[in-house]
Amino acid sequence: MALFTSADGWLFFMRWFHFLAGITWIGILYYFNFVQTPFFATAEPPVRSGMIVGSLVGRALWWFRWGAMFTFLTGWIIIGHKMSAFGGLRGFFNTSYGWAIFTGGTLGSIMWANVWFVIWPAQKVVIESATRVSKGGQAIPEAAARGQRAGFASRTNTLFSIPMLFFMGAASHLTLFAAGTRGGKIGMLVIGGLILLLVELNSLLGTAGPTKKMLSTVKGTLWAGFVLTAILWGLHVVLFPQA
Residue 171: inside a domain: yes
Whole domain around residue 194: which residue ranges?
A: 7-239
229 within some domain: yes
Sequence-distant contacts of 65-70: CB under 8 A, at least 24 apart: 65/115, 65/116, 65/119, 65/120, 67/21, 67/22, 67/24, 67/25, 67/26, 67/28, 68/21, 68/25, 68/111, 68/112, 68/115, 68/116, 69/21, 69/112, 69/116, 70/17, 70/18, 70/21
> Quick check: 75 pLDDT over 70?
yes
Which of the 8 DSSP states describes residue 135? T
Residue 1 lies in a domain: no
pLDDT at 155 over 60: yes
Tell whether 173 is covered by a domain: yes
Tens digit of each residue's pLDDT (9 = 90 or more) over 23-40: 999 999 999 999 999 998
Question: Residue 120 falls within a domain, yes or no?
Answer: yes
The contacts found for 172-179 with CB under 8 angstroms, 24 or more apart, are: 172/97, 174/96, 174/100, 175/96, 176/96, 176/99, 176/100, 176/233, 176/236, 176/237, 176/240, 177/96, 177/99, 177/236, 177/237, 177/240, 177/241, 177/242, 178/96, 178/242, 178/243, 179/94, 179/240, 179/243
Q: How many domains is the chain built from?
A: 1
pLDDT, tens digit, 9 for 90 and up, residues 88-100: 888 888 888 899 9
Overall average pLDDT of the 46-63 stretch: 90
What does the mean pLDDT of the chain come to?
91
The yes-or-no verdict on residue 105 having pLDDT over 80 is yes
pLDDT-derived band at 4 (thresholds 50, 70, 90) equals low
Residue 2 falls inside a structural domain = no
Task: Assess contact for 237 and 194: CB atoms under 8 A.
Answer: no
Neighbours of 170 (CB within 10 A): 22
Confirm whether 80 is domain-assigned.
Answer: yes
Which among 161, 165, 180, 143 is positioned nearest to 224, based on CA atoms?
Answer: 161
Cα separation, 104 vs 75, in Å, equals: 10
Inside any domain, residue 26: yes
